[in-house]
Chain A
C-alpha cells in the first residue's frame, strides 16, 4: 500500500504570471506511517496536500495510489477523497450541518454508502474523537472551539480513510489541547494502522510526535528521514527559515561546549535522560 507522487510539478497562474509551486517532486507515503511535514510559508506544503487528495492535479508527473494513476479514467475522484482524507486548517470553520451527527454523516453519504453504514461510521468516528452521545443532536455551532475541531475531524474519519492528511491540526490550540489532538491521532495510527501526515510550524510538536519528517523548501523535498536525523541539521534548517526544537538546539550547544553527545536528543525527556546517563546516574 502506498501513496506516491512521481516527478510532480505544479504551477499557479495569476495575471499572466506563472509561479512554480512544486518542482519535480517525488515522494512515497507507505502504510502506517506518522509523518510531520514542515517548511516555510510558500514552500509548497498546502499544494502538496491538495495533490495527495485530488483537489489539484499535477501539471507534470503522476499521483499514484497503490500504483494506480489517480488521473486514470477508471479511477473515481470519490474513491480518492474517501481513501485519502484531508483535514484543512481550522476545519471547524467548515461545519455546516444542523446537528453534529448530520455534519459528520455528510462525507460517507456523499460517497454513496448505505444509510446504515453511514450511520455506523459516523457514530464510530465521533466516538474516536471523544464526542459523547449527548452532543450528537446539538448544533455544531453551539460547541466549544476544541469540540468543533473534533467534530470536523470526525467528518473526515467517518469516510474511513487509509491516509489521513492534516494541515496544521493544532493551530490555535493551547498546549493541553494540542496534546489531546495528538493522542487521538496516535491512537488512530496505532489501532487502525492509519497512515498520518500532518503539517506543523511547531518543531517541538513534530519532534514529540512524528516518526518521519519531510522538509520542504521552494517546492522541493530537501530533507526526508527520521525526526532524530533531520534535527541534526540545525544550520541548514535555519537557512531555509526553519529551526530545530529548543531541546535539540540546547543539546547542540552543550555538545559544542565539550559534552559527549552520542545520540541526538529532540524532546526534554530525552535530554534529561541523556545528561543523567552521562553523569552515571541511572534513569529512574
Chain B
C-alpha cells in the first residue's frame, strides 16, 4: 500500500524544513519491543511503530485513525517522550525527544490525555489536581493559582474547583485532566482515545473543549480515536496500519479512499456511508460527503424531494 498524502511524500524525500516551524516532526520513527513468554524468554520482536514520517505544524488539528494494535498509541507516547524511538528521531517544537535533557521541556510542551479518566486523577480536590502539573515543573505558587483558575475556566470546570474529582462524571474528569495539562501552558495536546469511555454528552463536551482550545488558543491537537465523526473536523488525518502511516491527507481525501480504509480496519463516517450509497445507486452526489449540512443540500438538490406546491 502506498501513502497518498503529499505530507507523506515530503517525508519520504526527507526535506530539511526549519525544525522550529513544526510542532511535531517524526522522521523514520521506529519503536521495537520484545515479546516475552511467562519465563521471560524473548519470543519475538514486534515493531509497533515502523519508520513513521509525520509532520504537524503549530495550531493544526490532526486525527490519527487505525485498528487496535496498529501503533497509534505507541506513536502518541513518543510525542511527550514517554517513549523514545528505537530508530529515527522525533522532534517536538525542534527539541529531540531522544535527548534526556529535553524531556522535562517536552512534557511541558506536549500534554497527554489517556483513555481512562480514573487513572489520571491524583488529588482529592479538583483545583489541587489541576495544580499538580505546574507545581511539578516548578511554577511559582502564586502563578499556579492563576494558571489553575484560567485553565479550569477554559475547559468550563471552574465552578467545580472545590469538589472531589470522584463526584464528577467521566466527561468532567477528562476535562479536569485537560485543565491539568493546560495549566502547564502546553502548545500541544495529545488525546489517546480520551473519549472512548464517555457517554454521548461527555464526549461532546470534551470535543467541544478541545476544539475551542485549538481555535481560540492555537493549541496543536493530536486526536487518536475510533470514532470517525470526531475525525471529520480535523485539518488532517493519518491512518495507521501495522506500525506505518498507510494514508494521510484532509478528511475529504482520506474518506475518499474507502478501499484502503477497509484494509486498515477503519470505517467511513455514517454520513459519508449514506452519501456513497446514494451515489452508487446513481444519484448525483459527490464521492465524499462529510457533514449533515452537505448531505442535506446534496439530497435536497438531487430530486429526491416531491415537487413543493
A residues near B (Cβ < 8 Å) are: 39-42, 98, 139, 141-142, 144-146, 168, 171-177, 201, 203-204, 241-243, 245-247, 249-250, 253-254, 257-260, 268-269, 271-272, 275-276, 278-279, 281, 283
Determine the chain B residues whose CB is within 8 A of the CB of A203 once the complex forms: 200
Contact between chains at A258 and B305 (CB < 8 Å): yes
Bound form: Cα–Cα A24–B19 in Å: 63
Q: Name the residue in B270, B277, B299 with the highest tally of chain A Cβ atoms < 10 Å from its Cβ.
A: B270
Determine the chain B residues whose CB is within 8 A of the CB of A247 once the complex forms: 270-271, 274
Bound form: Cα–Cα A168–B193 in Å: 15
Task: Give the contact-size bracket for chain B.
Answer: 35 or more
B1: CB under 8 A from chain A?
no
Contact between chains at B278 and A250 (CB < 8 Å): no
Bound form: Cα–Cα A172–B197 in Å: 8
Bound form: Cα–Cα A175–B266 in Å: 7
Determine the chain A residues whose CB is within 8 A of the CB of B37 once the complex forms: 139, 142
Given known contacts A249-B292, A275-B299, A241 and B304 CB-to-CB distance under 8 angstroms: no
Bound form: Cα–Cα A171–B115 in Å: 10
Query: Would you give the shortest CB distance from B205 to chain A, in whole angstroms?
Result: 10
Contact between chains at A177 and B67 (CB < 8 Å): yes
Determine the chain B residues whose CB is within 8 A of the CB of A278 once the complex forms: 304-306
B60: CB under 8 A from chain A?
no
Contact between chains at A201 and B200 (CB < 8 Å): yes
Contact between chains at A281 and B274 (CB < 8 Å): no
Bound form: Cα–Cα A139–B39 in Å: 11
Bound form: Cα–Cα A41–B43 in Å: 41
Given known contacts A139-B37, A258-B305, A281-B281, A41 and B198 CB-to-CB distance under 8 angstroms: yes
Bound form: Cα–Cα A113–B169 in Å: 42
Determine the chain A residues whose CB is within 8 A of the CB of B197 once the complex forms: 168, 171-172, 201
From A41, A98, A174, A249, contact of B199 by CB (8 A): A41
B171: CB under 8 A from chain A?
yes
B residues near A (Cβ < 8 Å) are: 35, 37-38, 43, 66-69, 115, 169-171, 193, 196-204, 226, 228-229, 265-267, 269-271, 273-274, 277-278, 281-283, 292, 295-296, 299-300, 302-306, 308
Determine the chain B residues whose CB is within 8 A of the CB of A250 once the complex forms: 271, 274, 292, 295-296
Query: Would you give the shortest CB distance from A173 to chain B, in whole angstroms?
Result: 6
Bound form: Cα–Cα A225–B140 in Å: 57
Contact between chains at B274 and A268 (CB < 8 Å): yes
Contact between chains at B69 and A145 (CB < 8 Å): yes
Bound form: Cα–Cα A142–B35 in Å: 8
Bound form: Cα–Cα A55–B36 in Å: 37
Contact between chains at A243 and B68 (CB < 8 Å): no
Determine the chain A residues whose CB is within 8 A of the CB of B67 once the complex forms: 174, 176-177
Bound form: Cα–Cα A275–B274 in Å: 10
Rank and list the top 3 A-B pairs by shortest CB-CB distance, nearest first: A272-B277, A241-B201, A176-B265
Query: Would you give the shortest CB distance from A245 to chain B, in whole angstroms?
Result: 7
Bound form: Cα–Cα A144–B67 in Å: 12
Contact between chains at A246 and B229 (CB < 8 Å): yes
Q: List 20 A-B contacts (CB under 8 A).
A: A144-B69, A145-B69, A171-B196, A172-B197, A174-B66, A174-B226, A175-B228, A175-B266, A176-B265, A204-B270, A241-B202, A242-B199, A242-B200, A268-B273, A271-B277, A275-B274, A278-B305, A278-B306, A279-B283, A279-B303
Q: Name the residue in B198, B199, B271, B296 with the highest tally of chain A Cβ atoms < 10 Å from its Cβ.
A: B199
Determine the chain B residues whose CB is within 8 A of the CB of A279 once the complex forms: 283, 302-304
Determine the chain A residues whose CB is within 8 A of the CB of B38 once the complex forms: 98, 139, 141-142
Contact between chains at A145 and B277 (CB < 8 Å): no
Bound form: Cα–Cα A242–B203 in Å: 10
Residue ID in chain A nearest B302 by CB atoms: A279
Determine the chain A residues whose CB is within 8 A of the CB of B196 once the complex forms: 171-172
Query: Would you give the shortest CB distance from B111 to chain A, in whole angstroms?
Result: 21
Residue ID in chain A nearest B200 by CB atoms: A243
With contacts A258-B305, A279-B302 known, what are 19 further pairs, Cβ within 8 A?
A40-B202, A41-B169, A139-B38, A141-B38, A144-B69, A145-B68, A172-B193, A172-B196, A175-B228, A176-B265, A201-B199, A204-B270, A243-B204, A245-B270, A246-B292, A247-B274, A249-B292, A257-B300, A259-B304
Query: Would you give the shortest CB distance from B101 to chain A, in whole angstroms?
Result: 35
